[in-house]
Amino acid sequence: MTPQQVQQVTSLLPLLVLFAVFYVMLIRPQQVQQKKYREMLARLKKGDRVLTRGGLYGVILDVKDNDLTLELAQNVRVRADRTAVQSLAKRGAAGG
């Protein structure tokens, strides 16, 4: 390697280190979080208490492909897409 090539490689080194830091601190954790979210959506089943992205708590009454039937209150049922679920709710979070 010529001195000029060595200088070019060393000038790229900080950029490579910066990319590695961004990957480890930002990109990879988000990928892991998205994977957990997709797995949670795939495991949704009848009887699960969920929190929707709109902030509503409900209980899943029926699951068909990507559609869910949620009961928000007694005799108040809505149909929602599976991706409308933000998370599984803790027991008692819906007041019951």
Q: Where do the structural domains in the chain lie, given as residue ranges?
A: 1-43, 45-88
pTM (predicted TM-score): 0.75
Quick one: fold of 45-88? SH3 type barrels. (2.30.30)
Query: 2 versus 39: which is more confidently predicted?
Result: 39
pLDDT at position 96, please? 46
Of the pLDDT bands very low, low, confident and very high (cuts 50, 70, 90), residue 91 is: low
Q: Is the pLDDT of residue 94 over 70?
A: no
Contacts of 58 (CB under 8 A, 6+ apart): 49, 50, 52, 70, 71, 72, 78, 94
